[in-house]
Structure 1
Amino acid sequence: MLGFLVIVLLTLLLPTILLALSSSGWSHSRRRGAPSAPPGNTGWPVIGETLAFLKPHPSTSIGDFLVQRVSRFGNVFTSNLFGQPTVVSADAQFNRFLLLNELKAFEPGWPRSLIKVLGRYTILALVGDDHKYSRSIIVNFLSGARLQTVFLQGVERASTAILGSWKGKGVVSAIEEARKFTFAVIAKAILSMEAGNTETEKLQREFEMFSKGMLSLPLIFPGTAYWNSLKARSNILNVIRQKKEEKINKMRDGRTDVEDDLLTWTLENSNFTEEQTGDLLLGFLFAGHETTAKVVALAIYFLGGCPKALKQMRVNGTLSTHLCVMAAFWAVHMDPSLFEDPEQFNPWRWKDPSGIKKSNNFMAFGGGSRLCPGAELAKLEFVVFFHHLIMNYQWKLVEPDHPFCRPLVEFNGGLQVKIHALES
């Protein structure tokens, strides 16, 4: 879940922290006397360099957009993305400074097109006390005690259900199965919706439409990905609104069968309006589903080509959480001066500090006040799912299917894997 959308833009998308200039619609203000904007290129009128930014590239690289501009302008440069003047940073020290100095030197800001899809009350867009308050709702809901009881049981059920359905199948799409798993967990956690129900499957389809268009060119006319994303947003909010009304009626009637989920938690522990509640849940749904699904799929991809790691992980039926490492394709994480052979999947690097200059350069879950509030749930999902997967199945890719950023991580062929059930 990675700091809500920070994961997407900073970790699974591209190594950029998007900062607005004072003349833009973004809210990054700078003090008087601050140095001028770094060198760069603003590209074409209106669209700027957005098309180059969105150009697909292997997710184990930083992509041509960054390679070309970093080599020409340096690790911090000026561009124009999504119709907004933007400073792009691929510098480890500067990025860490941004995360740890919110409201001191910079104020977070995001493209208006993205906020229009996520909502003005999404935790991503909030700052100061409003952000702290919304974040506290989620952090308290995902407390350690609840993770060990309520959520562990839910993740366990979802894992065994998905993997149990593989029996008798020769080939499965790992990315689609990962999406089913993470959506089952998050839909249950947020709205108490059960996996396999028609209502849940319909919501998942709406959500996939929502995700595909949220980072596309903001063209608002029928048929475009962005238009479809806005339409899906409306449909998802209608479901949330319906569930909210049902819960309020149960509470009013004094019923004891009110579900224990984030919606109920928000109703009981906040004074949010309907719009605030919808935006909070929608943002959490995105962060808790799409990004975690990508991590699971990427781990299946990389572990499938690393039998040594799988063999070690099957010893005594244990699973090391340190293997949750290569989900972050951020420029800093791909910097060979900080990480040896960064393009290679090497889970053992985290056991050898000599191969890493500074551990605080690895920020897969964000940092500072933007540290992902759902990080522990994401880790729990990953560890439980892979414990059951590794102890019950062997797998290999049907054909090469390297992950690409489009701009979210995708597999052209759906990551088809041939599976074989292990003997008990």
Structure 2
Amino acid sequence: MDVGLLGLLQLSIESQPVLLAAVPAIVGILFGGYYMFKTFSFHGKRLPPGSLGLPLFGESISFLKAQKHDKTQEWVETRIRSYGPIFKTSLMGKPTVVITGTAGNRFIFSDNDNAIMSNQPSTVSSIMGKYNTFELTGHNHKLLRSAMASFLKPESLQRYVRDMDSLIKQQIFQEFNGKESVMIVPFMKRITFNVACALLFRLPYGKELDSLFEDLTIALKGMWSLHLNFPTTSFYRAMAARRRIFEYFSKLIEERRKLSEGNASSENDAISSLLNLRDENGEELSEDMLVDNIMTLIIGSHDTSTILLTQFVRHLARDKMFYDYILEEEKKILREKEGTDERLTWNDIQKMKYTWRVAQELMRITPPVFGNFKRAITDTSFGGFHIPKGWQVFWVSSGTHMDEHIFPQPEKFDPSRFEPTSKSYPPYSYIPFGGGPHVCPGSEFARMEVLLIVHHLVTNYEWSEVIPNEPISRDPLPYPAMGLPIKLYVKSKEEICT
């Protein structure tokens, strides 16, 4: 049963008034049957405790409301207190098992493709496309993931550092020059998008890139909305944006193919790398598969960085001590570079150890991705509970990130947790980028980008929040609700050099 059936019921009401009296009974039978099926069709199997919520909608409305107000952790913890670390619910129209804890993360992120596979909500798969790497299995999934991992590995990324540093420095100066205040969220979204497009995809600046940015923003907003495909809804607008994105990249792919004729070994960017791939039959990848995975790469290559950078700016505005510690580390790097090429290098980035520990702690407390969906492709079990084939499995990072047995005083901001001499945390307990064989292939690109941007911010500026204690809102990702406006103070040359 889906929204289309509700639409048919509505049409029947409008066109045939005589059926009005029967509608409550019809709806009751349909919803009752749905609920009975979801609840009792696995008689004899030990399903996890929990509630499937309302027929059709399940607990999606309360879940999305919690997301909107950054209360998802409380939403999960309330159910853990009632049912334990493994519980059932119904989200995005499907029965779902929520799994928390280190053992649960290991189960989710281990190479367990025979039982559990990636599975985005229907809104996500519709907008990103059914051939994106999260939806694929088998040969094509491994082919695409291997290509992305190879292109984004540290040895490959090192060639981008100087160009990335110059681009970031230029973009910050252009945006901040002559201004007393800046809206950080839109700025960080744009700078990370521009960096990814310029270095990973070689996309030209101009009106088309501006339109692509706007469409990707619209598409992202619709991914975790309700699957309601009619005008005025977020999902409807997102699908319209996807069609425009598809058209843009289809045209680009055609142009790149013409340029690469006679030069099949060219791998200057991510798009060229994907164009050179061949499926198990030796054929080029389809246009749909190429576009879906280019779109996936662009979204993935800038959103995590944007969230982390926004949290960085927000936290350093509130805590001068951490700002000063980071500033001293960055100034030391500048002093060591006196008389040489001013652009930062790969070796310089490796010296930003304390800065990255602050980043790690920010991602522990406010992970860019709170959780995500997978799907049982066969009957399986975990923790003594049956997980039926076809059910969603949802993992959440807070289950370990905020566990006092893993991270003592989890509410306290403490970057020293990640010092080499500190007590190590168990595998699969810290998962801002996933874990095991399913760790995000773009994590190193994100680290490089974040560290370069933070370096140029703290060495050139100080800032304060315009809106003290601005709350976080997830729509669907965690951003300050008002866009994080800040007041700027530009440092003099003497301040930068001393």
Shared fold by TM > 0.5?
yes
Partner residue of 1:126?
136
Distance between the aligned counterparts of 1:145 and 1:337, measured in 2?
A: 36
Map of 1:280 onto structure 2:
293
Give, as a single letter, the amino acid of the residue that structure 1 aligns with 2:241: A
For residue 399 of structure 1, what is the aligned residue in structure 2? 467
Task: Give 2:177's aligned residue.
Answer: 167
Residue of structure 2 equivalent to 1:214: 223
Within-5 A mapping of 1:235-314: 235-252=244-261, 260-270=268-278, 271-314=284-327
| Matched letter for residue 53 of structure 1 | F
Distance 2:65 2:73 in 1: 8
1:68 aligns with 2:78: yes
Identity of aligned residues (%): 26
SS at match of 1:107: strand
1:419 aligns with 2:498: no
- Alignment of 1:147 with 2:157, yes or no, is yes
Q: Measure the CA separation in 1 of the matches of 2:418 and 2:101.
A: 21
Would you say 1:323 and 2:374 are equivalent positions? no
Distance apart, 1:264 and its partner CA = 1.6
Question: Are 1:382 and 2:447 counterparts?
Answer: no
1:40 equivalent in alignment to 2:53: no
The residue identity in structure 1 corresponding to 2:273 is: W
CA deviation map 1:362-393 (0-9, x unaligned):
11111123211111101110111111111111
Q: Which stretch of the first structure deviates more once superposed, 97-106 or 206-215?
A: 97-106
Partner SS state of residue 117, structure 2: coil
Question: Number of matched residues?
Answer: 391
1:216 positional shift: 0.5
- Once the 2 structures are TM-superposed, how far is the Cα of residue 358 of structure 1 from its aligned partner? 2.6
1:19 maps to none
Q: Aligned letter for 1:237?
A: F
Counterpart CA distance in 2 for 1:214 and 1:410 is 16
* 1:192 Cα deviation after fit: 1.4
1:261 corresponds to which letter in structure 2?
A: D
Cα RMSD between the aligned structures? 2.6
Stretch of structure 1 that moved more, 71-80 or 364-373: 364-373
The amino acid across from 2:328 in the alignment is V
What is the CA distance between 1:164 and its match in structure 2? 0.6
Distance change in 2, residues 1:146/1:33 (3 Å): farther
> Which runs of 5 or more residues in structure 1 are unaligned?
1-23, 25-31
Question: Residue 306 and residue 59 in structure 1: after superposition, are their counterparts in 2 closer, same or farther (change >3 A)?
Answer: farther
Residue 163 of structure 1: CA displacement?
1.5
Does the C-alpha gap of structure 1 residues 341 and 405 become closer, same or farther in structure 2, counting only changes over 3 Å?
A: farther
In the alignment, structure 2 segments of 5+ residues that lack a partner are 1-33, 35-41, 279-283, 334-351, 371-396, 494-498
Q: Which protein is bigger by CA-based radius of gyration?
A: 2
Aligned to 2:429: 361
Structure 2 Cα separation of the partners of residues 422 and 223 of structure 1: 46
> What is the aligned counterpart of 1:233 among 230, 237, 242?
242
Instruction: Report the AA paired with residue 411 of structure 1.
Output: P
TM-score, reference length from structure 2: 0.73
Q: Which moved more, 1:353-362 or 1:363-372?
A: 353-362
Q: 1:190 to 1:223 in 2, by over 3 A?
A: farther
Shift of 1:190: 4.4
Would you say the 8 A contact 2:123–2:222 is kept in 1? no
Distance 1:58 1:315, change over 3 A: farther
Q: Any idea what the Cα deviations from partners look like across 1:35-83, whole Å, max 9, x if unmatched?
A: 6220111111111101111114698764332122111111111000000
Which residue does 1:11 correspond to in 2? Answer: none
Counterpart residue type for residue 365 of structure 1: F
Amino acid at match of 1:302: H
Residue 387 (structure 2) aligns with: none
